[in-house]
């Protein structure tokens, strides 16, 4: 029997400080991907808000299980009958001073299927650019994987990409697909985005779906974009450099099986 093909899509946005405009853009992209036969779509990190200040996240933070962005994602999954990996949204945490950066996944009937809170918080300062997510974000604590569209899907977010031990923790049993919604800066993205995505695909012998913010935002921040789908051999199947759009490819379970049979590296692990 031929292994089924699953159409997956990375949706690239250039989000603004206006949640309404951003949700309209996300709806356009989800509809476009659904029209091309997507079974699973993934939005980028902060798809609902790229604010003028870090603290803007606190203003729109939602309660787990309810809120405008969560209702939007559920409705989109239900309307188009597909799996939605909802990028990230700010979720209320343990204190009022910080929020969790949460990736919520919805099944085709609109029910919530999983939630992952970003574990690794980005900090960078090269003298010209300075970022410190811990000023407003609270770190998550646990890796999360789920079964979606007949696949084992491991969830991660942006800066998590630099920590291979997270993906090893997700790999018992091995994942068919890793999702990496992101808002990489132009500087760090140009240097490391593609090589890290391809490394995670190669070492885990699975597909990687990486939707990204891609362009110059109203705050003046420029994100790298290059939303990408990578196969288990590390080949880039599709990419969009900048601007709003859909990146789509077919995930072939037979391709995963063939790579793992030809080079059984996952079974050779001894540490």
- Residues classed as catalytic: 45, 118, 158
Task: Name residues whose C-beta falls within 8 Å of residue 49's C-beta, 6 or more positions apart in sequence.
Answer: 15, 17, 19, 22, 56, 57, 60, 89, 90
Dihedral angle, C-alpha 118, 104, 13, 233, nearest 10 °: 70
Give the orientation angle of helix 19-35 with respect to helix 68-80, to 10 degrees.
Answer: 20
**Contact indicator for 100, 131 with CB cutoff of 8 Å:** no
- Radius of gyration of the chain from Cα atoms? 17
Contact 11, 43 (CB under 8 A): yes
Query: How far apart, in whole angstroms, are the C-alpha atoms of residue 70 and residue 133?
Result: 22
Residue 82's φ and ψ, nearest 5 degrees, are -145, 170
Report how far residue 137's alpha carbon sits from residue 133's, in angstroms, rounded to the nearest whole number: 6
């Amino acid at each position: 029997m031929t292994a089924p093909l699953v159409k997956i899509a990375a949706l690239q946005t250039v989000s603004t400080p206006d949640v309404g405009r951003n949700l309209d853009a996300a709806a356009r992209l989800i509809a476009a991907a659904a029209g091309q036969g997507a079974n699973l779509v993934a939005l980028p990190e902060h798809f609902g808000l790229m604010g003028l200040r870090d603290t803007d996240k606190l203003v729109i933070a939602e309660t787990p299980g309810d809120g405008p962005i969560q209702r939007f994602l559920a409705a989109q999954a239900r309307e188009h009958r597909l799996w939605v990996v909802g990028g990230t949204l700010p979720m209320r945490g343990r204190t009022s001073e910080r929020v969790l950066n949460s990736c919520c996944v919805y099944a085709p009937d609109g029910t919530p299927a999983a939630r992952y809170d970003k574990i690794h918080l980005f900090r960078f300062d090269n003298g010209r650019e300075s970022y410190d997510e811990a000023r407003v974000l609270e770190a998550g604590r646990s890796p999360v994987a789920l079964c979606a569209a007949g696949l084992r899907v491991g969830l991660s977010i942006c800066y998590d990409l630099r920590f291979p031990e997270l993906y090893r923790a997700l790999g018992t049993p091995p994942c068919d697909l890793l999702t990496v919604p992101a808002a990489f800066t132009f500087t760090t993205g140009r240097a490391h985005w593609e090589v890290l995505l391809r490394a995670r695909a190669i070492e885990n012998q699975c597909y990687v779906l990486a939707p990204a913010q891609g362009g110059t935002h109203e705050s003046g921040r420029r994100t790298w974009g290059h939303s990408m789908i990578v196969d288990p051999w590390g080949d880039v199947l599709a990419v969009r450099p900048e601007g709003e759009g859909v990146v789509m490819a077919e995930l072939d379970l037979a391709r995963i099986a063939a790579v793992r049979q030809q080079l059984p590296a996952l079974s050779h692990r001894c540490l």
